[in-house]
Structure 1
Amino acid sequence: MEISDLRIFQAVAECGSVSKAAKTLSYVQSNVTARIQQLELKLDTELFYRHRKGMTLTADGKKLLAYSQKILAMMEEVECAFQNDEDPSGPLLVGSVETVSCLPSILSLYHKKYPRVDLSLMSGVTEHLIQDVLQYELDGAFVSGPVQHPEIVQELLIEEELVLIAKAEGGPQTLEECSSRPLLVFRSGCGYRARLVQWLKSRGVEPTKIMELGTLETILAMVASGLGVTLVPRATISRLEHEGSIRLFSIPADYATVSTVFIYRRDSHTTGAMKRFLETLHLFRQERGASTA
């Protein structure tokens, strides 16, 4: 079995068809088909269910996919291990929740110092980003913490105050009124959403309506329009607070503080790009601490 066989297998699994995988890999379709058949023959099992809509992994196929993800990730680590740590290059794929207000400053600082690194950012909710890191799909991610998992290392970035926000003029005047309004939140798996629902339940309140929205910008716009309420770090709504378009409500201390952490796999090789990224985070924390002291 060759590494290229696993790359072809993984491409077919991700694309759901031989033709799409062949196009992605710039291979001839017949070559992809032959390599999959040879792999099945070698392992003496069927890796895919074939149907008119494409190909779906069998139980053995899912088992092989788990192994191939680990093997290919290790091969990438081997290649990255020989990079120049002082001037790293290559890809660095980072995920983040949308509410990290200091993220632009961190990424800008990193890019200026290490322009040869191909830095990419993916947004998502905490629960899904954690899974992406565990599945080697992300090199690391900024998520709501703390994160307790034996395979994950977490680096504290910031701690922030969470506030409940609603429309200022004509909006709810008290926490009790807020409790009866629709909750404007990210999809399930968001740490702030979980915190908001947990807090309301501690008050004996079951949310009457939960509306899932795709971006922080949309959520804030809908709050300002009076559609509902949400829970966010105070730093993310400084402009709206200054404009007076929203009203802020403090919540109990047990729910009012959120930490943002950067996570990565414990068993991952620390590439030059990642090493310098972690250094940038530490530098940012030091400078932030000095400026607030």
Structure 2
Amino acid sequence: MSIDLQVLKFFQAVATLGSISKAARELNYAQSNLTARIQQLESELQTKLFYRHNRGTTLTDKGKVLLSYTDEIFKLIDEVKIAISDDQTPKGPLVIGSMETTAAVRLPTLLSKFHREYPTVDFTLKTGTTEQNVQGVLQYELDGAFVAGPIEHPDLTCKIVIEEELVLVTNSFNPPLSSIKEIQYRTILVFRSGCSYRTRFEEWLQSEGVIPEKIMELGTLDGIIGCVSAGLGISLLPRSVVEKYVKEAHLLLHSIPSQFGKVHTLFIYRKDKYMSTSLKEFIEMSNNGTLLGNHARLV
């Protein structure tokens, strides 16, 4: 028995869109012909792949198994095309994820240099939480990402970039904190769920038996800095990120216990994915000190 790639592409489209009619429109293919090809595939495999209903189609258990293999097949085909066409010259798309704090403070110099040296690389930077970036790499949406450690996953290669020191950030106009217990009466300013700094903040407070009365989520670093500066609340951020704001934003930085105040920034990528020349050069440029100055290394 042999299955051609076209019918697998048809099957994948129907499974993804949940409807033969939608898949036919998407593929610009006659619905009747698409239906016949799916039925032929089911006959060849001697199993039912879809439940048909008035809202469209739903995968059977066997259909779900086939879809997982189909997705893998097309990923491998894409990698083969990339590997064969790779002439060791950095070019084409490169999609990198990053935490917003890293993107704002650590990456501008690196990205500027990378663009100057490799202008034919179509570079895209996507910011998100550590959790979002990890999932992006695992789901092949990102070629690599800067995240906060620790990260342990059998499919990922993780390289330490640098150790960050997290500090408590408060407004210099408000009365200074005399005890950690006072934090429960302040508004806690954090990034959205999935941010490793937020998780570390919550772990520290929990260890001290402190339950803050109010937690406010903000989407950007500038938003958090601005709100702390205005006296709206306090936050936990890397010292390297907030040091430049101390004078102009009237901020105070407070050290916290080292078991909660030290965090590694990692660069992660999939072990099983072909590493393009563009990604190799990006990692190499990061490794030569461009990323964080002379003290920064990917190890």
Which TM bucket (shorter chain)? 0.7 to 0.9
**Aligned in 2, Cα 1:274/1:15: closer, same or farther, shift over 3 Å?**
farther
How far is the alpha carbon of 1:4 from its aligned partner? Answer: 4.1
Partner of 2:122: 118
Aligned partner (choices 246, 257, 261) of residue 262 of structure 2? 257
Cross-structure match for 2:48: 45
Q: Take 2:296 and 2:154, find their aligned partners in 1: how far apart are those partners?
A: 34
- C-alpha spacing 1:245/1:98, structure 2 compared with 1 (3 Å): same
Give the whole-Å Cα distance in 1 for the aligned partners of 2:193 and 2:200: 12
Q: Is the 8 A contact 2:171 2:251 kept in 1?
A: yes
2:193 alignment partner in structure 1: 188
So what's the TM-score if we normalise by structure 2? 0.82
Percent of aligned pairs with the same amino acid: 45
Which region of structure 1 is more displaced relative to structure 2, 232-241 or 277-286? 277-286
Q: Do the aligned partners of residues 173 and 106 (structure 1) sit closer, same or farther apart at CA in structure 2, a change above 3 Å counting?
A: same
| Greater mean alpha carbon deviation, residues 221-230 or residues 195-204 | 221-230
Relative to structure 1, is the Cα distance of residues 183 and 150 closer, same or farther in structure 2, using a 3 angstrom cutoff? same
Structure 1 unaligned runs (5+)?
none
**Where do residues 167-182 of structure 1 align in structure 2 (5 Å cutoff)?**
167-170=171-174, 173-174=177-178, 175-182=180-187
- Asked if 1:104 corresponds to 2:108, the answer is yes
Q: Secondary structure of the equivalent of 1:259?
A: strand
Q: 2:287 aligns with which of 271, 282, 287?
A: 282
Tell whether the 8 Å contact from 2:226 to 2:249 is kept in structure 1 after alignment.
Answer: no
Q: Deviations over 1:53-108 (max 9, x none)?
A: x6655544443343233222211211111234542222222111111021222222
* Selected match of 2:136 from 132, 139, 149: 132
Which whole-Å CA distance do the structure 2 matches of 1:37 and 1:228 have between them?
61
Tell me if structure 1 keeps the 8 A contact 2:289–2:295: no
Relative to structure 2, which stretch is displaced further, 215-224 or 6-15?
6-15
**Structure 2: distance between partners of 1:132 and 1:173:** 39
Residues 83 and 272, structure 1, Cα contact 8 Å, conserved in 2:
no
Give 1:46-85 correspondences, 5 Å limit: 46-47=49-50, 50=53, 52=55, 57-85=59-87
Q: Single out whichever of 26-35 and 259-268 deviates more from structure 2.
A: 26-35
TM-score of the superposed pair, with normalisation by structure 1: 0.84
Distance 1:233 1:57, change over 3 A: farther
Please report how far the alpha carbon of residue 203 of structure 1 lies from its aligned counterpart in structure 2 after TM superposition: 0.9
Taking the TM superposition and a 5 Å limit, the aligned residue runs for 1:193-212 are 193-212=198-217
- The amino acid of 2:65's aligned partner reads K
Contact 1:140/1:263 (8 A) holds in 2:
yes
Alpha-carbon separation, structure 1, partners of 2:16 and 2:175: 46
Number of residues of Structure 1 aligned to a counterpart in Structure 2: 290
Matched residue of 2:49: which SS? coil
Bigger Rg, which one? 2
The residue that corresponds to 1:27 in the other structure is 28
**Secondary structure of the structure 1 residue equivalent to 2:210:** coil
What's the secondary structure of 2:85's corresponding residue?
Answer: coil
Task: Work out the CA distance in 1 between the residues paired with 2:290 and 2:200.
Answer: 25
1:171-216: CA deviations, max 9, x gaps?
Answer: 6534432343232222222111110011111111133333323222
Match of 1:240 in 2: 245
Cα RMSD over matched residues?
3.0
> Cα distance, 1:233 vs. partner?
0.9
> Would you identify which runs of 4 or more consecutive aligned residues in structure 1 move more than 6 Å?
none
Question: Do structure 1's residue 90 and structure 2's residue 92 form an aligned pair?
Answer: yes
Do the aligned residues in 2 keep the contact of 1:183 with 1:209 (CA within 8 Å)? Answer: yes
Check whether the contact 1:187–1:212 (CA below 8 A) recurs between aligned residues: yes
Deviations along 1:252-289, one digit per CA (max 9) or x if unpaired, are 11111221111011111112222212212212369823
